[in-house]
Amino acid sequence: MEFDALLLSRLQFAFTIAFHILFPAFTIGLAAFLAVLEGLWLTTKREAFKTLYLFWVKVFAISFGMGVVSGIVLSYQFGTNWSEFIRLTGGVIGPLLAYEVLTAFFLEASFLGVMLFGWKKVGPRLHFLATVLVAVGTSISAFWILSANSWMQTPQGFEIMADGRFVATSFMEVIFNPSFPSRLAHMLMAAFLTTALVVGGASAWQLLRNRDQRESRIALTMAVGLLAVVAPLQLLAGHESGLVAKEHQPQKLAAMEGYWETRADHPLILFAIPDRATQSNHFELGVPGAGVLVAPPGEVVTGLDAVAPEDQPPVFLVFWSFRIMVGLGLLMIGLGLWGAWLVWRKRLTDNRWFLRFAVAMGPAGFVAVIAGWIVTEVGRQPWVVQGVLRTADAVSPVTAGSVMTSLLIYITVYAIVFVAGAIYILRLLDEGPVVGEVEPSPEGLRAPGTPLAAAPDETPGDPK
């Protein structure tokens, strides 16, 4: 029963965090996109930028709200399902989570209302400042959360007391642990790519129906520019994270690459069915000599044979999640470079095959983010703090029945609330950025989709 409670607690946390991470991965990039749009509107006075802002800020508000709700659920689970983890590591993890609330969440909460409802209440420059501060707050939040999680991957700057509790000896070492810099860069770029893919896909969808829509042309061009620059950089950041894992978490790298044997000059394995029971790969397809992408020639790479079977991560899940993430990353690079070439040729909206590809790639950022977190978190197992605290020792003393009950409740509530939110967002995306030009009429008689004729001094965000 103890094992069942552990497994169910892990499944419950995996389920809730898989939902939660979708929203920060989107809102971090979308907040920055909104700040750029409003800055361009203030600089150029082009109404298209304001229209885009008013449209995408609605999507941001819904996504941000769902992210906050799902994040609160995660906080409760630390107490209900992982009380031993908090009891033992609270002296290290607790302050990092508190810093996130004090610096990031308070900043976002203070200026989010101005950003969402302040068009007619404050001046345009103050409103722009509020948008920028919300965008900065989302990135600061990522800083602290990634710092805490990275410490669990590569712990340092602490000591363990006689009663088993962890105490920080240097918070600078705790915060700036070895895996933190590359993982922070990797996550922030993943957020920007996720936003670029959603914006690009939604804009391409509109252009397939009306290629003369000015706002969608602008948004798609901006999304393509971001993809063309950030997607190749993301590949480099991911490679750097792999090098850190090779040094500090060799079993994770071995699971990612499907290496069972400790030796030099591994091939680059493209396809395999890893089998922990036989400690080998079935149907392996590798490229000899291409393992130099993982390690230089002659360098010995630790395989899973150096780890006891009970200490090995679930290799199949890590191996294929890594390939999904990398495969989608290569498609993102291809989409960005193809789009940049079409922009240079001034044919971006003429190529319907590219527009269809952009629409199909719209959800790819979310899938890649979840796949990446599976690699990160499952690849660390069976440790919750690498090498010093096992996951089995961090779970609360709860019964499997109680965990199962709460898991079913979470699944039911999430299915209702988040599916409804997702459907509403998809409906907004289907209508397109012209929705951003519409304000509710005081009489409530205007038909949906009909533009509102307003005097200049009544237009939202007018410089006056």
Tens of pLDDT, residue by residue over 261-294, are 999 989 999 999 999 989 999 999 989 888 888 8
Question: According to the model, what pLDDT value does residue 52 have?
Answer: 94
User: What local confidence, expressed as pLDDT, does residue 3 receive?
Assistant: 52
Model pLDDT, residue 439: 41
* pLDDT of res. 228: 96
pLDDT at 418: 85
Quote the DSSP letter at residue 261. S
Place of tokens 């950089």: 233
* Chain center to CA of 86: 24
In the prediction, which pLDDT does 211 show? 85
* Residue partners of 426: CB distance under 8 A and separation at least 6: none
Sign of the dihedral through C-alpha 399, 400, 403, 404: negative
Could you give the CA distance from residue 451 to residue 201 in angstroms, rounded to a whole number? 24
pLDDT at site 344: 93
Rounded distance between C-alpha atoms, residue 352 and residue 60, angstroms: 28
Residue 70: predicted pLDDT: 82
Q: Are 286 and 270 spatial neighbours (Cβ–Cβ below 8 Å)? A: yes
Say how far apart CA 174 and CA 92 lie, in whole Å: 8
Q: Considering all CA atoms of the chain, what is the largest pairwise distance in Å, rounded to the nearest integer? A: 76
pLDDT at 442: 38
Residue partners of 419: CB distance under 8 A and separation at least 6? none
Q: Which residues contact 128 (CB under 8 A, 6 or more apart)?
A: 35, 38, 39, 42
State the pairing for strand pair 280-287/300-301. unpaired
Token pair 């240097």 is found at: 170
Contact present, 118 and 130 (Cβ < 8 Å): yes
Closest CA to 208 of 55, 350, 337: 350
Q: What is the pLDDT of residues 424-455, one digit of tens each?
A: 999 989 888 875 444 433 333 334 444 433 33
Contact 179, 154 (CB under 8 A): yes
Q: Which residues in the chain show pLDDT less than 50?
A: 1-2, 436-464
